[in-house]
A and B are shown apart, each in its own frame.
Chain A
Amino acid sequence: MIDKEVASVAEAVADIFDGATVMIGGFGEAGSPIELIHALIDLGATDLTVVNNNTGNGEVGLAALLKAGQVSKMICSHPRSTNSTVFPDLYRSGRTALELVPQGTLAERIRAGGAGIPAFYTPTAVGTPLEEGMERRSFDGRDYLLARGLSADFALIKGRSADRHGNVVYNKTARNFSPLMAMAAKTTIVQVSSVVPAGEIDPEVVVTPGIFVSRVVAVADPAHESVLVAEGVSYP
């Protein structure tokens, strides 16, 4: 019988290894799997390459993972934050490298990585500094840049609910990159507010089909980054 549910966030992330590439869902705090990230901090895996749109806020979640010195490289579109100096300090001191990717190109690179597409042409960034190192080609009189698909060893994502097969539905704009990352990682780990019996999620509304999901863990009352930041929480 297929049952992807595991008992704890610690168990869910236990095999993340030093040097792994980890995609982390979320756009700002929406969809950020804070409890899984904190479990990764507890685990202590280092030299990680992390893919996320941003670089976290305050000293919780992704910002805390960065602060713990576990991330050697960030791949993201918008590493600035109004209320965190964690990444800027690491970047300026050379301790964490940055690969800056336009947001739509980042999303499509992840989608391609999960869909067996090694590279694709995009009109985004033609004639800008971010074109550097990319092959340019003209189609039908317009220039495009060749972008590579992006895959990962692990994806950490947050859903609203899932079943034992790993079918996932999300909450509002918390969906963002997560369905793409679920496809692009060898091992996809999903935290959800509730694990429901198979059949309870209408097949018509499943967003991430279970084939893309390796593990499901229930986090009944997930923390919100903005609340933790307002409370001045610093993890661990």
Chain B
Amino acid sequence: MSERSARVGLTRDEMAKRCALDIPDGAYVNLGIGIPEGVATHLSKSREVIFHTENGLLGMGPPPEVGAGDPELINAGKHQVTANPGAAYFHHADSFAMVRGGHLDLCVLGTMQVSASGDLANWSTGAPNAIPAVGGAMDLVAGVKTVYVITQHTTHDGEPKLVESCSYPLTGVGVVDRIYTDLAVIEVVEEGFRVVELSPGVSFEYVQERTGARL
């Protein structure tokens, strides 16, 4: 699609930066793998946010200096991280008690599709030869109080990722609160998708044309 190559909307990094603006001081937050990981680097220094990684760490810090890491101090994406002062380690049952028990304030996830009723599909394309892998995504959306999604507005082929109903297998039903795309910030409300903010230089009509449901 020639249109896609034209520089319209936010970059991946700018999407993470925009989302970071909405993370409140004092929040306990889980960041998914991919673009959401970038949110941590854009938080204002004036806010203290505690990052949870479901493999057993609260108070996750940035990646270690080269050569200073520990292969047994990693995040859910299996990359080496650090532990901030005040961090805590715990086993998986405690970690998912934090998740399912509603103790985490917010999670930010990537996605393949989101429906107008907030259904999320981010773990499998359902292709017959694919190796199914779910990880902690279904637990996060079932238990975390607020679920944000960061995603490109459309697929590489220009297909909408915000749709009337998901064609991919679901991760959770009616779980998504807000979506940050390259084109807009969109809330999921009773009536469906509601545009909260358009990216600079992007019109409502442009977003509507690239969305699989009425805005």
Q: Mark B57-86, 1 if CB is under 8 A from A, else 0.
A: 100000000000011111000100001000
Binds B, one of A11-19, A63-71, A73-81: A73-81
**Looking at the complex, which one of A108, A207, A224 makes contact with B71 (CB distance below 8 Å)?**
A224
Cβ-defined contact, A124 with B133, below 8 A: no
Interfacial chain A residues near B214, Cβ < 8 Å: none
Segment touching B, from A38-46, A86-94, A194-202 = A86-94
Does B131 lie within 8 Å of A173, measured CB to CB?
no
Q: Are B91 and A207 in contact (CB under 8 A)?
A: yes
B114-139 vs A: 1/0 string, CB under 8 Å?
00000100001010010111111111
Q: Among the listed B89, B95, B143, which residue makes an inter-chain contact with A172, where contact means beta carbons less than 8 Å apart?
A: B89
Instruction: Flag if B89 contacts A107 (CB, 8 Å).
Output: no
Residues of A within 8 A of B92 (CB): 27, 103-104, 106-107, 176-177, 180
Q: Does more than half of chain B's interface fall in helix, strand or loop, or is it mixed?
A: loop
Asked whether A30 is an interface residue with its Cβ less than 8 Å from the other chain, the reply is: yes
Contact partners of A72 in chain B: CB under 8 A: none
Interface range for A = 35 or more
Which of B90, B93, B173 is A127 in contact with, Cβ under 8 Å?
Answer: B173
Least Cβ distance of A105 to chain B in Å?
7
CA distance A128 to B132 in the complex (A): 13
Q: Mark B153-170, 1 if CB is under 8 A from A, else 0.
A: 000000000000000011
| A122 CB within 8 Å of chain B | yes
Cβ of B100 under 8 Å from chain A: yes
Q: A79-B131, A179-B91 are in contact. Are A123 and B71 (CB under 8 A)?
A: no
**B147 close to A (CB within 8 Å):** no
Are B91 and A180 in contact, with the CB atoms below 8 A? Answer: yes
Q: Does B99 contact A (CB under 8 A)?
A: yes
B38 interface contact, C-beta 8 A: no
Q: Are A123's CB and B72's CB within 8 A?
A: no
> Which of the residues A78, A122, A172, A226 comes within 8 Å of B133, measured between beta carbons?
A78
CB of B133 within 8 A of CB of A80, answer: yes
Q: Quick check: is B24 within 8 A (CB to CB) of the other chain?
A: no
Asked, given contacts A30-B72, A88-B131, A172-B72, whether A108 binds B96 with beta carbons under 8 Å apart, the answer is yes
Q: Is A209 an interface residue (CB 8 A)?
A: no
Does A125 lie at the interface of the complex (its beta carbon under 8 Å from any beta carbon of B)? yes
CA–CA, A92 and B139, complex, Å:
27
Query: Is B56 part of the binding interface, using a Cβ–Cβ cutoff of 8 Å?
Result: yes
What are the residues of chain A within 8 A of B89 when measuring CB–CB?
170, 172-173, 175
- Pairwise interchain contact B139-A103, C-beta atoms closer than 8 A: yes
The 0/1 profile, CB within 8 Å of B marked 1, for residues 114-133 of chain A is: 00000000111111111000
How far does the alpha carbon of A100 sit from the alpha carbon of B133 in the complex, in Å? Answer: 7
Q: Provide the bound-state CA to CA distance between A172 and B72, in Å.
A: 6
Residue of A77, A111, A179 near B135 (CB, 8 A) is A77
Assembled-state Cα–Cα distance A105/B100 (Å): 10
Bound-state CA distance A225–B71 (Å) is 9
When distances are taken between beta carbons in the complex, the residues of chain B under 8 Å from A232 are none
Residues of A within 8 A of B143 (CB): 104, 123-124
- Asked whether A234 is an interface residue with its Cβ less than 8 Å from the other chain, the reply is no
Binding site for A on B (CB under 8 A): 53-57, 70-74, 78, 83, 89-93, 95-96, 99-100, 119, 124, 126, 129, 131-139, 142-143, 169-173
A-B contact pairs, 5 of them (CB 8 A): A104-B139, A124-B142, A173-B55, A173-B89, A224-B71
Q: A29-B74, A77-B134, A103-B92 are in contact. List 7 more A-B contacts (CB 8 A).
A: A31-B72, A79-B132, A102-B134, A127-B173, A128-B173, A172-B73, A177-B92
The 3 closest A-B pairs by CB, nearest first: A104-B96, A104-B139, A127-B173
